[in-house]
Structure 1
Amino acid sequence: MSREPFPLLSELPPELKNVILDFHWDVELLHSLDLPTIELPVAELVWQLRLPFWAWGGRPFQVTPLEVAADPEVYAEQYARTIAADLRYPLDVVRRPDGRITILDGVHRLLRAHLDGRESVLVRVLEWEELDAIAVRC
């Protein structure tokens, strides 16, 4: 059985092609994994806040977390989710073969940590070789 392709793959902007996984994965499967938790500097992850992860105007991949932070009135829904983000829960990340760490779940928490001026965040690390554990199968 193979991995189900990411449903919005054709709509991904170029800057997300090497960040978003190319297959459909299940956040509940991710949360059920017993992964090692480490502390990482926010500065190591903050580049991802410049990527258009979030939908706007009914279209995916239109707004970056930093754009939301810069104009919380326009992006009130995403900003409210950011402010409500609970930093007691670690971000879920994947360590790629080149060593880069990219966020799987927790962009709102990362933005909240950045806005709060935190120096570090807790992350649960999924290794690249373990991605099949979260894959939705066709």
Structure 2
Amino acid sequence: MTRRPFPLAIPPELTAYILDFHWDVDLLHALDLPTIELPVAELAHHLDLPFWAYDGPFKVTPHQVAADPLTYQAQYDRTLAADLRHPLDVVRRPDNRLTILDGIHRLLRAELEGRTTVSARVLPWSALDQIAVRD
């Protein structure tokens, strides 16, 4: 069986961040992964990328949501409800970069609260098959 391809067209600015296959967040959460503390600043560039939907996928950045919570009320409410007791899930890419798989809302909340670090679980690139959805 092969990995199921990602179901949406990925904008060029996100190809270095979004995996090109469909993966399962429940499989990710079930993994026993090491947890580390990361500086919010190390991941903050994610907040300037259009990860979130607004009249279509990949239209708004988390920083746009923070700057205009009335327009983006649903995403802002999700951000304020994000539970920072749960670590972000990141993947360590072959070039050693960390990119967020799950936890953008938690990262934005941490930034809004002025936190300097967040907890993150680190998935090695070699373990991606453990979260892949198969055809």
Equivalent AA in structure 2 for residue 19 of structure 1: Y
Equivalent AA in structure 2 for residue 31 of structure 1: H
Equivalent AA in structure 2 for residue 84 of structure 1: A
* 2:84 partner SS: coil
* 1:61 partner SS: coil
Offset of residue 13 of structure 1: 1.3
* Deviation digits for residues 80-133 of structure 1 (CA, Å, limit 9, x no counterpart): 000011100000000000011000000000000010010000000000000000
Gaps in structure 2 of 5+ consecutive residues: none
Specify the alignment match of 2:83 in structure 1: 86
* 1:22 partner SS: coil
Given the two structures, how large is their TM-score scaled by the length of structure 2? Answer: 0.99
CA distance, structure 1, for counterparts of residue 36 and residue 72 of structure 2: 31
Offset of residue 41 of structure 1: 0.2
Equivalent AA in structure 1 for residue 67 of structure 2: A
CA distance, structure 2, for counterparts of residue 126 and residue 76 of structure 1: 31
The structure 1 residue matched to 2:42, chosen from 41, 44, 48, is: 44
CA distance, structure 2, for counterparts of residue 113 and residue 102 of structure 1: 16
Percentage of identical aligned residues = 70
Specify the alignment match of 1:122 in structure 2: 119
The structure 2 residue matched to 1:70, chosen from 44, 67, 72, is: 67
Given the two structures, how large is their TM-score scaled by the length of structure 1? Answer: 0.97
CA distance, structure 2, for counterparts of residue 84 and residue 26 of structure 1: 22
Which structure features the higher share of strand residues? 1
Are 2:123 and 1:136 equivalent residues in the alignment?
no
* 1:5 partner SS: coil
Equivalent AA in structure 2 for residue 110 of structure 1: L
CA distance, structure 2, for counterparts of residue 92 and residue 111 of structure 1: 14
* Deviation digits for residues 18-51 of structure 1 (CA, Å, limit 9, x no counterpart): 1000000000000000000000000000000000
